[in-house]
Amino acid sequence: MKEYLIIGNGTAACGCIEGIRSVDSSGRITVVSAEEHEVYCRPLISYYLEGKTDLSRMQYRGDDFYEKNNCSVLFGRRAVELLPDKKQIVLDNGDTLPYSELCLATGSSPFVPPFEGLETVEKKFPFMTLDDALSLEQAISKDSRVLIIGAGLIGLKCAEGISERVASVTVCDLADRVLSSILDSECASMMQHHLEKHGISFRLSDSAAKFEKNRAFMKSGAVVEFDVLVLAVGVRANVSLIKEIGGKVNRGVAVDSAMKTSVPHIFAAGDCAEVYDISAGMSRVLAILPNAYIGGYTAGANMAGGKAVFDNAIPMNSIGFYGLHAMTAGSYEGELYEEKTENSIKRLFVKDDLIKGFILIGCDERAGIYTSMIRNKTPVSSVDFEALKKAATTTAFSPDLRRKMFGGVV
Amino acid sequence: MKRVYVNEEWCLGCHLCEYNCAFANSGLSDMVLALKGKPIFPRIHIESGDKISYAVSCRHCEDPLCVKSCIAGALSKDCGVIKIDRNKCVGCFTCVLVCPFGALTPSESGIMQKCELCLQNACGEPACVKGCPNRAIVYEERGVAE
């Protein structure tokens, strides 16, 4: 009987469990979980603070998930070393666990730059885990002035989540715009104005140089007073376990399309791993939930002897703030097709007869039709692109393609 | 598994399926009370282009990208039917971003909704199929795609 071992207990681990069980119903599965929680929806921690969900509804799977899949979970334990020659891992309490197939689903950790005086700040929090959100919730009150370092996806969702529960929220970022990893200047500016209308203040092209208790001395020379500090500068993939044994690592753990690492019998998936982004033509960390699940599932199926591949990964995000949704996918290269109204922007990028990427703000209807064209590499010349760029519709596809899509099981 | 299919050459584009869908999922027994004078939020939509029209609803994919992408764990596959737990959905629109058919749409409250083949409501069988005047929409077994 096979011994499956998974380090991590997030979305990729859940996908891995379900992938293993799609092939092997009897092998033993052990999960090493640093967090003391059953698998939950990480991206919902801001919705929790906003009151749009609660702890029980945030469970990613049902109460009987581990039992039903016959998994044992070691809560509150960390893996500290891999022993690939013995096919074992060492835990933080000194115990060793054997494996026949191992999956690294170790995720990422907040990256905190070395700010001078950060240790003098009493109330400071990252915003990655449920425990981070619960600690932040304890620290804030109606009178709190909150300073968030980082205007990316994490920082801004945090801002939205707490804005109704605190006195003020200020977000700063060294970048000159919000959501700089997914939006260009004009799109970012639209989203920034929308956030400002809802009371969020921004200090862009500026960040803290130094802290003194409740004061941030900014690079620009300004001084920002705050009661609670949130650090959302960025994240780093947790790669040390496999790096220490000489496994191939770039920004994330290098894997092939079967999610195998360079070390035999060790797989990796989720935010700790790199996947091949077909829209950019390069391997990179795509720290988004769909990739974590699909990568995890692929790894699991292959650990159990199946033949799964994950070969159509692209970056894609759907992120909304106070009712305005931004959807982005792929890479922003090639010829630009653009449509704008006062409250919406659509940008499609076309190169080599393929849609390579898009940005949609306030015009998200049937956006998945564009996404599927990127993932499936549907030639633009095979569709009525004039109709399609105005509205995402399958009527722009050829009758043959439509029949294939709608005629049978897909 | 039985699914809803549309013969596009027979679809008149009359939109009756949208009304029947909204009514079947309204929880009300009087169609006038349920629909008259209100915006409707059906789970099936007519798409029309140059000389063609056809109804689109969830295809209940074998490999459902929406289920794998849902950040709230609200979408699941149960005996082949893709279901949504609307109590868990937070309205992030990730499913809209990934569904190749445009089959998930927001409800009046902003929470997502989708076709569940009327298996959960009082109709018990797809209302769009039952009410299609030209029998363009059918509920049948067609097996695996080519």
CA nearest neighbour of B40 among B4, B16, B61, B65:
B16
Q: Residues in chain B, how many?
A: 146
Alpha-carbon span A182 to A161, nearest angstrom:
20
d(CA B29, CA B88): 27
- Average pLDDT on A44-50 reads 98
Range of the domain at B14: 1-57+117-146
* Mean pLDDT over the full length of chain B: 93
CATH code assigned at B35: 3.30.70
The verdict on residue A310 lying in a domain is no
Closest CA to A239 of A2, A5, A8: A8
Return d(Cα A62, Cα B83) in angstroms, integer.
14
* B68 shares its domain with B44: no
Contact of A64 with chain B, judged by CB distance below 8 Å, is answered with no
For tokens 């115990």, the residue is A95
Same domain, A191 and A249: no
CA distance B77 to chain A (A): 12
A15 and A46: one domain?
A: yes
pLDDT band at A378 (very low <50, low <70, confident <90, very high): very high
Q: What is the CATH number of the domain that holds B93?
A: 3.30.70.20
Share of chain A above pLDDT 90, in %: 96
Contacts of A329 in chain B (CB under 8 A): 97
Rounded CA gap, A357 and A374, in Å?
Answer: 7
Give the pLDDT confidence of B93-106 residue by residue, as tens digits: 999 999 999 999 99
Q: Mark whether B97 and B63 lie in a shared domain.
A: yes
Contact yes or no for B30/B18 (Cβ under 8 A): no
For residue A313, give the DSSP letter: B
Q: Is B4 on the interface with A (CB under 8 A)?
A: no
Which of A47, A318, A405 lies nearest to residue B94, judging by beta carbons?
A318
**Which amino acid belongs to residue A367?**
A
B50 with B70, same domain: the answer is no
- Name the pLDDT band for B144 (thresholds 50, 70, 90): low
Residue A345 is part of which domain span? Answer: 323-407
A402 in contact with chain B, both atoms CB, cutoff 8 A: yes
B140 and B102 belong to one structural domain: no
Domain match, B69 and B86 both: yes
How close does chain A come to B105, measured CA to CA in Å? 8
Instruction: State pTM to two decimals.
Output: 0.96
- How far is B37 from chain A, CA to nearest CA, in Å? 24
Query: Per-residue pLDDT averaged across A314-321, rounded?
Result: 97
Of A275, A256, A281, A276, the C-alpha closest to A354 is A281
Same domain, B8 and B36: yes
B17 at interface of A, judged by CB pairs closer than 8 A: no
Rounded Cα gap, residues A15 and A24, in angstroms: 14
Which residues are registered as beta bridge partners of A326?
A319, A361
Contact A408 B146 (CB under 8 A): yes
In chain A, which residues have their Cβ closer than 8 Å to the Cβ of B57? none
pLDDT at A407: 81
> Shortest CA distance to A316 belongs to which of A251, A256, A373?
A373
Residue A50: give its domain's CATH number: 3.50.50.60
Q: How would you classify the pairing of strands A108-110 and A101-104?
A: unpaired
Contact residues, chain B, for A269 at CB < 8 Å: none
Provide the number of structural domains found in chain B: 2
Looking at residue B54, the DSSP 8-state letter turns out to be E
**Same-domain pairing of B10 and B81:** no
Cα gap A188→B52, rounded to integer Å: 38
Provide ipTM, 2 decimals. Answer: 0.96
- Binned at pLDDT 50, 70 and 90, residue B146 comes out as very low
In a domain, A272, yes or no: yes
Tell me whether B114 touches chain A (CB under 8 Å). no
Q: Are residues A67 and A122 in the same domain?
A: no
B27 touches chain A (CB under 8 A): no
The model's confidence at residue B142, banded by pLDDT at 50, 70 and 90, is confident
Residue A384 in domain: yes
Reply yes or no on whether the pLDDT at A408 is more than 70.
no
Partner-chain residue, chosen from A293, A318, A394, that has the shortest CB–CB distance to B93: A318
Q: Could you tell me if B61 lies within 8 Å of chain A, comparing CB atoms? A: yes
A72-A76-A79 Cα angle (round to 5): 80
Q: In this complex, is the C-beta atom of A330 within 8 Å of any C-beta atom belonging to chain B?
A: no
Kindly state whether residues B103 and B141 are assigned to the same domain.
no
Residue of A nearest to B102 (CA): A366
Size of chain A in residues? 410
B122 and B50 co-located in one domain: yes
Band (B124; pLDDT cuts 50, 70, 90): confident
3-state helix, strand, coil in chain A (%, to 5): 30, 30, 40
CB B6 within 8 A of CB B132: no
Query: How far is B51 from B12, CA to CA, in rounded Å?
Result: 10
Number of domains in chain A: 3
Same domain for B72 and B100? yes
DSSP result, A238-293: --HHHHTTT--BSSSB---TT-B-SSTTEEE-GGGB-EEETTTTEEE----HHHHH
